[in-house]
Structure 1
Amino acid sequence: MNTRSFPEQLSDMWRTRPVRLPRQGHVAGVCAGIGVRYDVDPVLIRVAFVVSTFFGGAGLVLYLACWLLLPRYGDQVSPAESLVGRGHSSESSTKAVVLLVVLAVAASAFGPMGPGVGGSGFVSMVLMLGGLWLLYQRRPEPPALPGAPQLFPQNPFQAPFQQSQYQQAPFAQHTAATGPAPADPNFWTKPEPDSPRAAGAESPEANPEPPQDPLLQRPTPPSWDPLGVAPFAWDLPEPAPAPSVVPAKQPRSRLTTTVLGLAVLAAAAAGAVASAGEVAWLTPARIGAIALAVIGLGLLFGAFLHRGYGLLVVTGPLLGFVVLASLVGPIDTSSWGEQLYSPRTAAELQPAYSVQMGALQLDLRGLELTEDETVTVETRFGATEIMLPKNLDVDVVCTERASNSCMMQGLDGGDDGVGGPVLTLNLDTAFGNSEVRRG
């Protein structure tokens, strides 16, 4: 039973956090490192990141955070720790700063707390972190990393003792009890003066040429030495090193390039139809969604073939573009720039005003109504200013996506109170500022 407290487990989880393995991964090695650390197939980790990216954007935010917080295999610290001077990392400081900026943009645009996610980003973030916590509880101790040094040397046995060729053989010494050892046929000793060998050696016929010095010749082992008593026969050759096996390089898959080409062709065809036929339905968001659908089918097909991991690099930015374009809506270039309207009567008052990029000023201070009217004002990227007369009854309805600028909302009767025709203003603001004021 684990008796450690929750802060202690969090500290140990941070201490034993995975390391990134870029050589075994496809982008930064985050999924491969998590899979090796917790003994899980990295493909399952990649699928979890992709699914959480589609549902709320938490997968992309978590991947960028892991890229910054997990050290690369062989480095001392992570890129984020290297920025604050806690050690050395192979990632450059420029790359780490770029990752921080991309992480901030991703978290603010379509992360767990970003606009338009409806709580799905927070739920997917909790599920991903909870799954990581369960993996740690399943395997709290990290395994041996791939490519770690061996515990024992390849040749644990030292070379045996070698007899030098300039060293006198121990079995060629002369003793008084046994005489010279006859192990070596080339061995020669000087005879004693009183021995028969000395007497016979004085005759010229029995005076052979003395043999050469045996210390200057390399002794040869005897032809039959079952006990291995000749030390100079122990000079065994060193074992040859084992040949290194070079793994065969797998052929590169064409699935990634094929799917990307099909996605580009699909987006180009949709854009051409939208431009030629003026199809209002084919907005930039829907064109990007068509390309994203093609890439999604490629990822699904590649999951069965274990190919196409490079499509994940394109999926994140394309998904961000689709989400951002959906928030902005269709683009109308005719409503760009500075716009000024000053209607005096109900006939001059238009039912809708729009500004895609620029500034819109709607001056209604001279407007006189005889019946209720409704006006819709859309603001995408820009500022809208609406000026009302002091006594006009107005009902302001604000719809905001990524802004908080409507200060005047609800029914307002002006200085004389409610009691006349009502002008209903429907303000739709995406990324901009809408201001309604009197006078």
Structure 2
Amino acid sequence: MWWRGGKRNLGLVSGTEKAMQGVADTLREFWAHRPVRPRAGRKLGGVATGIALRYQIDPVIVRIAFVALALSGGVGLPMYLAGWLLLPEEGDQVSPLEALVNKGHSSVSQGQTVLLGVLLFPALAFTFGSGGFQVFVTIAASVACIYLLQKNRGHLQPAATLAEPPLTPPVPGAPAWDPLGAAPFAWDLPEPAPKPQPPAPRPRKPRVAGVTLGVATLVVAASAIAGAWVPWFTVAHVIGLVIAVLAAGLLVGSFTGGGRSLIWLLVPLSVVGFGMTAVDFDGRPSVGDLKVTPQNLSEVKEKYELGVGSVMIDLRQLPDSGSVKTAVESELGDMTVHVAKNADVTFHCEASSIGDLDCLGRTADGGNVQVEGVDLGGDGEGGLKIDLDVRANVGEVRVLRD
């Protein structure tokens, strides 16, 4: 039986290799026939318009996609700048970046190219510095969308803008139905009336918008029912689910036609959703950095919370005696707690989704990991007692004694 299993395994490996090779071939084909940034009809650098013309989809949908990516961890800005650098302009031989290394001519000057490259670095730093794990998911989803566009619409080309000239000019004075103009007795006869053509049937648009709105309504109803038992279904999370459904409807509509009306619901919902994630209802920011250095025990809060960003709690300025208990929680980002050398620390560190833990020498990394213990410091038992509970959904957790 071992050889049969070996054959099955060999077939599985071969199938995986073929699939990966197909993906690589599609991406290479995308690069070989990449979009061209037009000079007319663009709003900024022509990246969105060029993609829309290349794959014959609505330019508004592509622009909305870039805006949504910009709100999703800032990914849209470096992606747009990269497209500006890597996609050639209409009439140019190569892209601005390729022209910078002398691979051909580009109408974009070297100074503009260098400026775009300089702007790309802070955009990338901001994106990867504040987005965390979400950035990699968004980039992977963007690459998957590019792959699907090339796979399903790569054979399409932009529609021709110039009409074809007639093959032979008509002979002056000859009726159109006498192609040779060789019947003089018929030159004064009236032209025959054209045959009436039946009206062309109106194309039936796919009901993308209606189906998408129906699915979104079901999601809201199911979330309202599930919210009675599952605390996760908050207003912000339900809005996020609806935004995901509308975005999926726009993606399907870009392939099949229709669905453009969903934009008028997606844009305001995206603004509301971004606002709800940026500021909690109690007025505390949930996106940014949190740095706290309490000087006495009464200044230490029972809980420090942040949605997305970095957290630094410095407890080294506290007195050498007494006791304090605090919790630190974050959805996404790096968390660091500093404690004094001689403090007695009881700690529990956890990353509920994926993270990297290093709490007073005890380490763990991966998905759903936690460490806990008691560390009495360099002088043994005695001194300030600290009870720490540090939890992150995704990110890096550190409890350091320095």
TM-score by length of 1: 0.43
Structure number having the greater helix percentage: 2
Structure number having the greater strand percentage: 2
TM-score by length of 2: 0.46
Which protein, 1 or 2, shows the higher relative CO under an 8 Å CA cutoff with sep ≥ 6? Answer: 2
Larger radius of gyration: 1
